[in-house]
Structure 1
Amino acid sequence: MRKKIVCLILGITLMGAALAGCGNEDATSATSASSTTSATSATSATSQSEGESGTQTTETEGEAVPGESIQTNGGEVISLASLEHQDATSDTVVYFTSDISPEAMVAAYDALGTGLTGENIAVKLSTGEPPASNYLDPDLIVDLVQQVKGTIVENNTAYGGQRSGTAMHYQVAEDHGFTDIADFVVLDEDGSTSLPVKGGTQLTENLVGAHFPEYDGYLVLSHFKGHAMAGFGGAIKNISIGMASQEGKCLIHTAGESHTSPWGGEQDPFTESMAEAGKSVVDALDGNILYVSVMNHLSIDCDCDGNPAEPDMHDIGILASTDPVALDQACVDLVYASQDDTESLIDRMESRNAVHVLEHGEDIGLGSRTYQMVSIDG
């Protein structure tokens, strides 16, 4: 009971700070909505189209040894042995490149060696809350989106902000440049559809946008970063809260208790609900879903926060996998293994027991926490 009260106070406090609305990747960063301009968002978005780092790079500490270490975008060399869940014998592969560029996005996707099947492919991402969130820059993703002939899709927020209504959300997508590179659809503009949750402990159904079933396969492009409620946001967050309709977001945040309010849920049941909702999406697609995550602009705040904290860490790179649990675990492991200024991001994750979503995800068969990291650099 005490835990539930603490979570309720946290939710009310964050909501009261400013009902800006957490987009598809947050429920409590409902902090800062204000008017947006294309110029502002173009400056503050993840502008990596030429491979620039979002922060000043560190001096390279030696060179990576193939099969033994990787070198990050910021120049740091990280030993594969220091990644807690990395196992060279694992059949689950996470591909890595330190390059953050349009070409690297395509290379990471191609490294998976399997394409999405079907004629109608959706690209799920966060459109980002105005005015200055760290959403993925359209210039960074354009080549990959057009290679798969994808339609960019999102869902409306449940917590206020400039993406809580369909018309406003389409405007934000245009302002942020997404409609310049592909068609864009708000999946829940016509309400929800229910997906069954198999083997869950918190949810029996997951409510996604009504237009979700119209696509044969999904390419999930995620910006890895911190998150006010989940601790971190990555691939699992993108296919759970991110894929949920407004009603579905409330259901996940309250572990099935409410269809109308996202506030007051307990922490571990919330993250368990995220994993269960994510698995329902993967099950519905029969595995026709692939994941690419970008580790740059590593703020403690997610892309639904219109004024996120400045990152303390340097950029790391791009990762890709067929397994969302392994992909998120690899991102988490890289943060812990880095000798960079990781304290704020690690504190954000640990204070929310963020790894529990990975633990539960593995338990219910969403994926594996153990992975083999393979560098595609040089």
Structure 2
Amino acid sequence: MEKAKVYFSKNITPENVIRLYEALGKALPGKVAVKVHSGEKGNQNFLRPEFMKPMINAVNGTVVECNTAYGGERNTTDKHVKLMEYHGWSHYFDVDILDAEGPDLELEIPNGKQIKKNLVGKNLNNYDSMLVLSHFKGHPMGGFGGALKQLSIGCASSAGKSYIHSAGKTTDQNTLWDNVAPQDAFLESMADAASSVVKHFGSNMAYVSIMCNMSVDCDCCAVAEDPCMKDIGILSSLDPVALDQACIDLVKSSNDPGRNHLLERINSRHGTHTIDAAADLGFGTRDYALICVD
């Protein structure tokens, strides 16, 4: 597989998000789902809708999310809808909680390492293409959150999230924490799930990741550590594997004093195994060319 192109700018502005997307030369057709992280109530680090607004409007996109599989303000549709309003997403955009109503859409994963199906919100079928807007940061379980996490945990229904976390043992959030998979099996399940969403949309996908507010904790944490590193920039690619690898490499090459704290979180969770598993599944490559557009 030839090297993937990853575009990079140090300047983090709403206008530059559009610029990095346009560098891809990919016009997303039809009805566009824009996957964001809505942010748990109380989280201080998630990217606000005001920042995302120019990019989402540029593709005339609908903001999509799915319910969680753990306690909080996003584990039921009613609470999630209220939080989307509270955080301002519904003020600016059409918002679709993809798994608001069942039954879930089942995507097959015949070559999955751990799971052979993925459960996503059935409303995914209402879209022709997807723009994945990721906030790159740490994560308590996955080590880091980026494009692959948005594709997997992010697009999975509440039942699907339980299925991924348990590597196929349960779809019930009430029994999830008694069935959490061994770490590498969980990470491979994320890669499996991500592959099914990529297959679903085919070439009608694009990815932009923003490396700012980089805490060791995810935007899903109501109580999260403050960012430990200075902002790095915006990246874009048509390859989610290359994009996540490039973000990891930029953290590694940084001389920021908070770098080691973030890397400890990533490495202690074996986080880059998700990238390795995704590359092995063949829907992306770790080999990339970083193209600076500043």
TM-score, length of structure 2 as denominator length: 0.96
Task: Report deviation, 1:170.
Answer: 0.9
Q: How far off is 1:340 after superposition? A: 0.5
Contact 1:336/1:346, CA 8 A, preserved across alignment: yes
Alignment of 1:262 with 2:173, yes or no, is no
Corresponding residue number in structure 2 for 1:289: 205
Unaligned runs of 5+ in 2: none
Say whether residues 1:332 and 2:244 are aligned partners: no
Q: In 1, are the aligned partners of 2:45 and 2:227 still within 8 Å (CA)?
A: no
CA distance in 2, matches of 1:366, 1:135: 28
Among 91, 109, 117, the alignment partner of 2:21 is 109
Letter in 2 for 1:235: A
Which is greater in Rg?
Answer: 1
**Out of 225, 228, 231, which is 2:137 matched to?**
225
Give the conservation status (yes or no) of the 8 Å contact 1:178–1:184. yes
Render the CA deviation track for 1:274-330: whole Å, top value 9, x for unaligned.
Answer: 001000001011221110000001100000001210122100010000000000000
For the Cα contact (< 8 Å) 1:133–1:305, is it kept in 2? Answer: no
Tell me if 1:126 matches 2:42: no
Q: Quick one: percent identity of the two aligned structures? A: 46
Quick one: distance in 1 between partners of 2:149 and 2:64?
A: 15
Offset of residue 268 of structure 1? 0.3
Show the counterpart of 1:276: 192
Superposed structure 1 runs of 4+ greater than 2 Å apart: 261-264
Deviations 1:21-47 (A, max 9, x none): xxxxxxxxxxxxxxxxxxxxxxxxxxx
Aligned equivalents of 2:3, 2:245: Cα separation in 1: 15
1:171 aligned onto 2:50:
no
How far apart, CA to CA, are the structure 2 residues paired with 1:97 and 1:181?
26
| Offset of residue 366 of structure 1 | 2.0
Do 2:215 and 2:224's aligned partners in 1 also have CA atoms closer than 8 Å?
Answer: yes
Please tell me the residue identity of whatever aligns with 2:58: Q
Name which of structure 1's ranges 258-267 and 319-328 shifts more when overlaid on structure 2. Answer: 258-267
Could you tell me which amino acid in structure 2 is paired with residue 299 of structure 1? Answer: S
2:43–2:220 CA contact under 8 A, matched in 1:
no
Distance (whole Å) between structure 1 residues aligned to residue 176 and residue 191 of structure 2: 17
In structure 2, how many angstroms separate the alpha carbons of the residues matched to 1:291 and 1:207?
A: 21
When normalised by structure 1's length, the TM-score is: 0.75
Name 1:64's counterpart in structure 2: none
Aligned equivalents of 1:269 and 1:275: distance in 2? Answer: 10
CA distance in 1, matches of 2:112, 2:219: 28
CA apart distance, 1:104: 0.5
- CA contact 1:197–1:280 (8 Å) conserved in 2: yes
Alignment partner, residue 209 of structure 1:
121
The 1-side partners of 2:85 and 2:12 are apart by 23
Question: Partner of 1:133: helix, strand, or coil?
Answer: coil
CA distance in 2, matches of 1:269, 1:346: 21
Q: Give the 3-state SS of the residue equivalent to 1:374 in structure 2.
A: strand
User: What's the RMSD between the two structures over aligned residues?
Assistant: 1.2
Q: Which amino acid aligns with 1:194?
A: E
CA distance in 2, matches of 1:289, 1:136: 21
